C-alpha cells in the first residue's frame, strides 16, 4: 500500500510532490505517484465545537449559563472545507502509513492532530520537519523523518493552547458582553496586548512637558574645532543658563582629560519573524500581517527564503554549509558586488553570534535559499532585500571606530565631547547605498532626537591635551521633554515578544522569547483582531485606542480580573506551553488552572455593576502627546461616574498607578510615586530626564538622566526614590575626577542629587 502525505496547504503539497514523486498524476485535490499520495489541508479543516453543540441552551447568551467548561472538547468539521476532509478520509483508506507534512511548528502539528483525531486515523505516522521548500531540502527531509510519537509533547502543547483560548475567549467574551449589553471580545493573548496599548495611552494623556535648557560649547584648538555639552544638572531657569553661557564665551580653557578607545560594531543578528516584522514596519510601513503574508509567499511560492515563522536569530552547525551555498547562489545577481567582497571564513560553526544550536528550537533564523529570485512583486522584493542584506552582513568584518571622549574646562565649568571616528566601514558597506534614504526618514524625528551628543565623523579627529583651548561660542538650547510615543505595529511586536518588559540585555531578551505574548506565528493575527473588533484604530503608523477599547480594559480591571490584562501572567502561560512541548510540564495541570481562571472571570463579572451604554461611545482622539486628556475622554469618565461606576475601581477612573511596567521600546515610562511630600503624582521618564505628572499643578521635582557621569537607569531612579540612594557606582564628579560611590537624593522637594563617597 501507499503512504499518504498530508501537507498544510495546496502549494506545499505540490512542492513536496515535485520533489518526491515528480511523475505523480494530478487528481485536483491530491497527487498520486508510485509510492506516495500527496494531499493537503486548507488551513484548519477541524475546529472546536461552539457551545450550542454541547447544549441547545447555549444558543442564547446568558451569564446564568456560565462558565461553559466541557469535560471533553468536541471536534467539528469546518463546513467550508468539508469536501477536502472527505478526500483525506477516503485516501487514508487506501494507505497504510501517514506522513505529517504540515508546517513544522506548533500550529502545523495541531492541524494534523485534529484531522487524525476527528477521522480516527490509526496509521503509523512519520513527521516531515523542514525549514525550506527547495527540492533538495524536501528530499533530505523525507530521508531523515522521525516517528510521529516523538512530537507528542508538541501536540499536547498545541491542544492545550487551543482549548485554553476557547475557555478564556468563550467565557470571558460572553460574560462581559451579557453583563454590559455591548459585544466585548476577550482573549488570553489579545486582552493583555490591548492593556499594553491602554497603559501607553494613559501615560500619553497624563504627560506634562518639562522645559529645560542645555548649553553647547564651541571650542577651537589650532585648526581643530569641536563641540561639547555642559556637564551638570540641567537647568530650567533660562537666565541662569544664559549667565553661564556669558561666563564661558570667549574665554580660554584647558582639556582636563582626553581618552581614545578602539571599538567595534558587529553585524546585527539574523532575522526571526518578529524582528523582520518590526523592521519592515519601521522601514516600509508594512503591517505585521502584511510582512508575514509576504514572507510566506517568498517561502511557499518562490522558495527563496527558509521557513519564516521562526523565533530564532541563530543557525545550527548543519546550516553553515547551506549559508555558503546560498552565498554562491547570489553570484550574478544584483548582489554580485557584495558577494565578491564577502569573507567566507567569517561564517563558521564557532562564530557564536551566528551559530548557536542551543538557541534554535523548531527552526533556525530566516535565510535566503540557494534558489535565485525571479518574478517577485515590489513588496516581496523589498522584504527579500532586507533578508539578503542581513544575511550578507554576516560575511563581513565588524565596523571599526575610535571613540574620543574629551572633557574641557572653561572658567571651572565642564563640557563633555564624544566623537566617533570611523576607521573601517566593515559590514556597514552592505547598507552604504541606503544612507540617503535613512537621512531622509530622520527628518520626522522629535527635536531632541535630531541632535545626538555623540558626533560621528569620517575624517581623523584628535586634540592635544596639553594645549590651550578657546571657547569660541556658547549656545543655549531650549528643549522640552517628550511624551511617551504611541505604539506602532513594530514597537508593539517588540512589547509582545518580551511580555511588556523593557529589556536592554540581549541574553535576557532572548530568554524572554519563551514567555512573550503569543508566538511569532500568531502575533500578527492578534493585532488584526484588535482592529477588527474596534478596540484600536490606525492613524498612520500609530496604534490608537478607541473608546470601546478603553472601556474594555477598564471594565476587565474594574471587575478585579487584573490577571486577564497582565502581559507577564499571559507570558508565563506561554512559557508553560513551551515547557509542555518539551515534556517538562503537565498539560493536565495547565488546563486545570485555565478552567479555574475561566470560572473566576465569570464569578467576578457576575457581581460587577453594569456600564452605561454611552460609556462606549465617542470618537477616537487624534494621536498626539503631552495633553492631560481630551474633552471627550474626560466627558466619558464623568458619564461613567454619573452612572454609578465608581465600583469599577482599579483603572476605571483612577490615575495611573506607580510601578507600572516598563516600556519595551525605550520610550518614556511611568516609574514610581513622586517622592515630594504630599504631591501624589507619578514619575515619568522622558528622553533626558524624569519629571512628575503633577508638573502643571506646581510640582518641580525632576531628576536628570545624565548625572555624575552616569546615564541613570529605571532601576537606579526607583532606588533613589524609594531608598534615597543607588547601589555603589563608578561616578564622575564636577571636577572630572572618577570615584566609587553612591548617588543620593539630597532634596525630595526638587530632585537635587548629591554623592556619597567612601
Specify the DSSP element, H or E, that contains 492. Answer: helix 489-497
Contact in structure between 482 and 446 (CB atoms under 8 Å): yes
Give the Cα separation of 716 and 745 in Å (integer).
Answer: 11
Contact between residue 455 and residue 247 where contact means Cβ atoms under 8 Å apart? no
Distance CA 743, CA 727 (A): 8
Alpha helices in 607-723 (DSSP H): 631-642, 714-723
3-state helix, strand, coil in the chain (%, to 5): 40, 20, 35
* Grid cell listed for 505: 540585555
Q: Is the backbone of residue 222 left (phi > 0), alpha (psi -120 to 50) or beta?
A: left
> H/E/C letters for each residue in 118-169?
HHCCCCCEEECCCCCCCHHHHHHHHHCCEEHHHHHHHHHHHHHHHHHHHHHH
Task: Give how far Cα 215 sits from Cα of 240, 629, 650, Å.
Answer: 11, 33, 44
Nearest to 100 by CA among 2, 8, 16, 229: 8
How far apart CA 28 and CA 181 sit, in angstroms, is: 48
What's the rounded Cα separation, in Å, for the pair 338 and 335? 5
Cα(734)–Cα(163) distance, rounded to whole angstroms? 61
DSSP 8-class letter at 368? B
Q: How many CA atoms lie within 13 A of 579 on its CB side?
A: 14
H-run or E-run covering 19:
helix 10-20
- Other residues' Cβ atoms within 10 Å of the Cβ of residue 550: 26
- Nearest CA to 210 out of 753, 755, 750, 754 is that of 750
Burial (0-12, 13-18, 19+ Cβ within 10 Å), 22: exposed
Query: So which residues are the catalytic ones?
Result: 307
Q: Which burial class, exposed, middle or buried, applies to 422 when counting CB atoms under 10 A from its CB (0-12, 13-18, 19+)?
A: middle
The C-alpha angle 107, 108, 110, rounded to 5 degrees, equals 60
Q: What's the Cα-to-Cα distance from 128 to each of 45, 108, 320, rounded to whole Å? A: 20, 11, 21
Q: Which helix (H) or strand (E) holds 98?
A: strand 95-101
Amino acid at each position: 500500500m501507499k503512504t499518504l502525505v498530508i501537507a498544510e496547504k495546496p502549494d506545499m503539497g505540490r512542492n513536496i510532490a515535485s520533489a518526491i514523486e515528480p511523475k505523480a498524476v494530478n487528481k485536483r485535490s491530491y497527487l498520486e505517484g508510485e509510492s506516495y499520495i500527496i494531499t493537503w489541508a486548507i488551513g484548519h479543516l477541524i475546529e472546536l465545537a461552539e457551545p450550542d453543540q454541547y447544549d441547545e441552551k447555549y444558543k442564547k447568551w446568558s451569564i446564568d449559563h456560565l462558565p461553559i467548561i466541557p469535560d471533553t472538547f468536541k471536534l467539528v468539521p469546518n463546513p467550508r472545507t468539508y469536501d477536502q476532509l472527505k478526500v483525506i478520509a477516503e485516501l487514508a483508506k487506501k494507505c497504510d502509513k501517514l506522513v505529517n507534512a504540515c508546517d513544522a511548528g506548533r500550529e502545523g502539528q495541531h492541524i494534523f492532530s485534529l484531522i487524525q483525531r476527528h477521522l480516527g486515523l490509526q496509521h503509523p505516522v512519520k513527521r516531515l520537519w523542514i525549514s525550506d521548500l527547495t527540492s533538495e531540502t524536501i528530499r533530505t527531509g523525507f530521508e531523515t523523518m522521525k516517528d510521529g510519537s516523538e512530537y507528542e509533547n508538541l501536540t499536547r502543547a498545541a491542544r492545550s493552547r487551543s482549548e485554553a483560548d476557547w475557555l478564556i475567549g468563550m467565557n470571558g467574551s460572553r460574560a462581559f458582553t451579557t453583563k454590559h449589553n455591548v459585544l466585548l471580545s476577550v482573549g488570553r493573548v489579545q486582552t493583555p496586548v490591548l492593556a499594553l496599548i491602554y497603559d501607553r495611552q494613559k501615560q500619553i494623556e497624563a504627560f506634562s512637558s518639562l522645559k529645560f535648557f542645555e548649553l553647547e560649547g564651541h571650542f577651537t584648538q589650532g585648526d581643530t574645532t569641536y563641540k561639547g555639552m555642559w556637564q551638570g544638572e540641567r537647568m530650567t531657569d533660562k537666565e541662569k543658563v544664559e549667565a553661564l553661557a556669558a561666563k564661558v564665551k570667549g574665554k580660554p580653557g584647558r582639556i582636563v582629560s582626553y581618552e581614545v578607545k578602539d571599538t567595534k560594531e558587529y553585524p546585527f543578528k539574523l532575522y526571526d519573524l518578529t524582528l523582520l516584522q518590526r523592521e519592515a514596519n519601521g522601514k516600509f510601513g508594512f503591517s505585521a500581517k502584511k510582512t508575514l503574508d509576504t514572507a510566506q509567499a517568498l517561502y511557499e511560492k518562490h522558495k527563496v527564503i527558509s521557513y519564516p515563522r521562526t523565533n530564532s536569530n541563530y543557525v545550527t552547525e548543519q546550516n553553515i554549509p547551506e549559508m555558503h551555498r546560498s552565498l554562491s547562489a547570489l553570484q550574478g545577481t544584483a548582489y554580485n558586488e557584495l558577494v565578491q567582497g564577502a569573507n567566507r571564513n567569517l561564517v563558521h560553526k564557532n562564530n557564536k553570534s551566528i551559530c548557536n544550536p542551543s538557541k534554535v528550537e523548531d527552526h533556525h533564523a530566516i535565510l535566503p535559499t540557494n534558489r535565485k529570485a525571479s518574478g517577485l512583486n515590489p513588496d516581496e522584493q523589498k522584504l527579500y532585500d532586507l533578508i539578503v542584506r542581513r544575511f550578507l552582513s554576516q560575511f563581513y568584518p565588524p565596523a571599526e571606530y575610535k571613540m574620543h571622549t574629551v572633557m574641557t574646562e572653561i572658567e571651572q565649568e565642564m563640557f563633555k565631547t564624544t566623537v566617533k571616528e570611523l576607521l573601517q566601514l566593515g559590514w556597514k558597506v552592505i547598507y552604504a547605498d541606503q544612507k540617503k534614504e535613512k537621512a531622509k526618514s530622520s527628518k520626522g524625528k522629535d527635536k531632541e532626537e535630531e541632535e545626538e551628543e555623540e558626533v560621528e565623523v569620517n575624517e581623523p579627529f584628535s586634540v592635544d591635551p596639553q594645549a590651550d583651548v578657546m571657547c569660541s561660542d556658547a549656545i543655549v538650547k531650549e528643549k522640552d521633554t517628550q511624551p511617551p510615543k504611541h505604539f506602532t505595529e513594530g514597537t508593539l511586536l517588540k512589547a509582545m515578544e518580551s511580555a511588556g518588559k523593557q529589556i536592554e540585555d540581549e541574553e535576557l531578551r532572548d530568554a524572554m522569547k519563551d514567555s512573550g505574548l503569543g508566538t511569532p506565528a500568531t502575533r500578527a493575527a492578534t493585532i488584526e483582531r484588535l482592529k477588527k473588533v474596534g478596540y484600536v484604530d490606525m492613524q498612520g503608523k500609530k496604534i490608537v485606542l478607541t473608546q470601546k477599547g478603553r472601556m474594555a480594559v477598564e471594565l476587565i480591571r474594574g471587575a478585579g480580573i487584573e490577571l486577564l490584562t497582565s502581559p507577564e501572567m499571559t507570558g508565563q502561560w506561554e512559557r508553560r506551553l513551551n515547557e509542555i512541548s518539551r515534556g517538562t510540564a503537565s498539560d493536565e495541570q495547565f488546563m486545570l488552572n485555565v478552567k479555574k481562571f475561566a470560572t473566576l472571570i465569570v464569578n467576578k463579572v457576575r457581581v460587577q455593576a453594569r456600564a452605561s451604554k454611552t460609556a462606549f461611545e465617542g470618537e477616537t482622539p487624534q494621536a498626539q502627546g503631552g495633553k492631560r486628556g481630551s474633552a471627550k475622554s474626560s466627558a466619558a469618565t464623568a458619564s461613567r461616574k454619573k452612572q454609578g461606576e465608581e465600583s469599577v475601581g482599579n483603572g476605571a477612573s483612577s490615575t495611573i498607578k506607580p510601578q507600572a511596567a516598563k516600556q519595551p521600546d525605550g520610550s518614556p515610562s511611568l516609574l514610581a510615586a513622586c517622592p515630594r511630600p504630599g504631591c501624589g503624582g507619578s514619575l515619568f521618564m522622558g528622553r533626558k530626564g524624569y519629571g512628575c505628572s503633577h508638573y502643571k499643578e506646581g510640582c518641580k521635582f525632576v531628576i536628570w538622566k545624565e548625572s555624575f557621569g552616569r546615564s541613570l537607569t529605571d532601576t537606579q531612579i526607583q532606588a533613589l526614590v524609594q531608598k534615597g540612594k543607588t547601589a555603589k557606582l563608578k561616578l564622575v564628579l564636577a571636577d572630572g575626577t572618577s570615584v566609587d560611590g553612591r548617588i543620593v537624593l539630597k532634596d525630595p522637594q526638587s530632585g537635587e542629587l548629591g554623592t556619597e563617597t567612601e
